[in-house]
Structure 1
Amino acid sequence: MITDLVSLRAQRFVFASSTLNLRLTRTMTTNVYAIAQKGFGTGTNELYDRARPSYQAECLSYIRQVSKSTAPLNIVEIGAGTGIFTRALLAHSEWATSIGTLRAIEPSDGMRDVWTKTVNDNRSSIIKGTFDNTGVEDGWADLIIIAQAFHWCPDYGKASAEFGRILKKDGAVVFIWNREDRDGAGWVAQFCDCIEVHEQGTPQFRLGLWRETFSTPEYISLFHPQEEEEWAYHLLASEQIVTDRAQSKSYIAVLPPDEKAKVADDLKGILERGDGRVWINKEEGTYQFPYKTYIVVSRKK
């Protein structure tokens, strides 16, 4: 899932940790990160939709409690991608009578095409748009939800201003991410190391650059301090599932064929060793895939 880069002069954001310096360059010559544009472009999204996990029922229940309204809600889902989160929300029992209208916003033509083919609910629709240009009227939304996408945001202040504009008083923004739990098993840590070396300076969730949002003047003036929750759980894994999930990453999808084949070979070796693997059914080749979901809630003042 992706958003556009508004025309800005070239600038660098440096993320520093004890072992990492990350440089992100944004230019005036493109509307999206080049890796995201190609990695999530036409022809890649069916794999993305098949390989990426859905959202845990308890997390969706938590999001329902964010809004205290009992009336059907107006929901804006920005960065809706192929519809993985949209479908989960529409199908969840606690949301059955809670959704009035859901407006999905997605800049990628390819992802919108898959969303249109896979989401079949007359309460929902999708249009082209971005974090800072949703096309939604002032004060329309009870809730904004951004699933697996906000780390691509190019301007946190402008996005916060747009969120504040389209939300009703006491509305809220919910940011949610699914993430492989590298601390859950040795093979998962090795999986992450194997693919993350190819990130090429993209603003991945794990780097925490998106946290700059909460210190922007726009955010501070419009929203209360954020609330954060985390869930740990296990998904079903197999060699095919894990390989597909790796290939669904934008920065893996753009690799030349020989480099992509090398990643697949390295992953095969990691999975054959299976450090810390917990089998579900060894004969069928299925085992636990440690995962975490992170939710951040920002309530409008």
Structure 2
Amino acid sequence: MTPWRAICYSTSRPSHYCYRRYTMPVHDIAKSGYGTGNELYDRARPSYQPLALSHIRKAVKITPPINVVEIGVGTGIFTRAFLAHPEWVSAFTELKAIEPSAGMRDVFSKTVVDDRGRVSISDGTFEQTPVEDGWADLVVIAQAFHWCPDFSRASEELGRILKPGGVLALIWNLEDRDAAKWVAQVRDRIEQYEQGSPQYRLGKWRQAFNTDSYQGFFEPPQEQTFSAPLEATADIVVDRACSKSYMTILPEDEIAKVRQDLVAIVNRGEGKTWINESEGIFEYPYKTDVVISRRKV
């Protein structure tokens, strides 16, 4: 039986209005892989391209200050990029961060600093957040929406917390396997461990746009891709690969073998472009995909 509980909202409905909000479980691989030891994730994962953050800012067509909700914040990698971005740093009044993993929330609390005290973090999921009706001008989900177990209920919740005309921004970083053979070889080596988990590259998250809830609340999505190589070393490539949720749950001997194979792939470096060969720094081809959905007025 799917667990549920009744929650009352009074922001835009009568104070007696209550309805059932379903508490969806977090995917087992995400729960296990991101439960503890998230310092590697925070250290190894890349930040977000400034152009992508500018793109999101342009999509929010309201005069500041802006209320922001970020769901699935992880260790705060996107949040820190957001706080440092010149177009965002003074444009928002409050950011409510939502994250179901206690281990991720712990790292977030240690690494995300806003001198103005505008950032808070709470437990919650895509389907259930502690945010008032119609509070948010912008909801951001970075590197996380592919884990959503119920796109219909998530779309309902996102529509609930967004103001009419507000923006939902989905954003992902992904290695560009088509740009260099060695990148494809790295991906091939680790993807065999995915265990059927709903990885972004599989595109299952697009099912959200076909749900009645999404179509009832949102206009059709608009997608944009930003391509740019990042700086990397062999250690960065190996650590980033091993920070994947499905990799962190492998036995130590298996991880050691994968690391050895990844080092060999990077050292062969088919299609590698050097930035500074003497220091071991090379280009790591990456893409950042941004999907913008506007809540209907």
Give TM-score scaled by structure 2 length. Answer: 0.90
**1:32 and 2:21 equivalent?**
no
Amino acid at match of 2:112: V
1:158 corresponding residue in structure 2: 153
2:247 corresponding residue in structure 1: 252
1:97 corresponding residue in structure 2: 90
Distance apart, 1:96 and its partner CA: 2.1
2:35 corresponding residue in structure 1: 41
What is the aligned-residue identity percentage?
A: 59
Number of residue pairs matched by the alignment: 274
1:147-201 Cα shifts (integer Å, max 9, x gaps):
0000000000000000110111101100000000000100000000011011011
1:178 corresponding residue in structure 2: 173
Distance apart, 1:31 and its partner CA: 2.6
Distance apart, 1:8 and its partner CA: 4.4
1:123-158 Cα shifts (integer Å, max 9, x gaps):
111000000101101010000000000000000000
Q: Please give the root-mean-square deviation of Cα atoms over the aligned residues, in Å.
A: 1.2
The 5 Å alignment of 1:231-270 reads: 231-270=226-265
Q: Is the 8 A contact 2:71 2:140 kept in 1?
A: yes
1:128 corresponding residue in structure 2: 123
2:48 and 2:281 map into 1 onto residues whose CA distance is: 20
Amino acid at match of 1:281: N
Distance apart, 1:53 and its partner CA: 0.2
2:162 and 2:106 map into 1 onto residues whose CA distance is: 27
1:20 corresponding residue in structure 2: none
1:70 corresponding residue in structure 2: 63
Amino acid at match of 2:216: S
User: Which consecutive aligned stretches of 4+ in structure 1 deviate over 3 angstroms post-superposition?
Assistant: none
Query: 2:279 is paired with a residue of what secondary structure?
Result: coil
2:272 corresponding residue in structure 1: 277
**1:206 and 2:201 equivalent?**
yes
Distance apart, 1:237 and its partner CA: 1.1
2:27 and 2:51 map into 1 onto residues whose CA distance is: 33
2:34 and 2:224 map into 1 onto residues whose CA distance is: 28
1:241-278 Cα shifts (integer Å, max 9, x gaps):
00110111011110011211111111011112100000
1:3 corresponding residue in structure 2: none
Give TM-score scaled by structure 1 length. Answer: 0.89
1:135 and 1:42 map into 2 onto residues whose CA distance is: 24
**1:295 and 2:290 equivalent?**
yes
Amino acid at match of 2:73: A
1:54 to 47, 59, 63: 47
1:193 corresponding residue in structure 2: 188
2:20 corresponding residue in structure 1: none
Amino acid at match of 1:48: Y
**1:220 and 2:185 equivalent?**
no
2:81 to 88, 98, 114: 88
Q: Is the 8 A contact 2:29 2:245 kept in 1?
A: yes
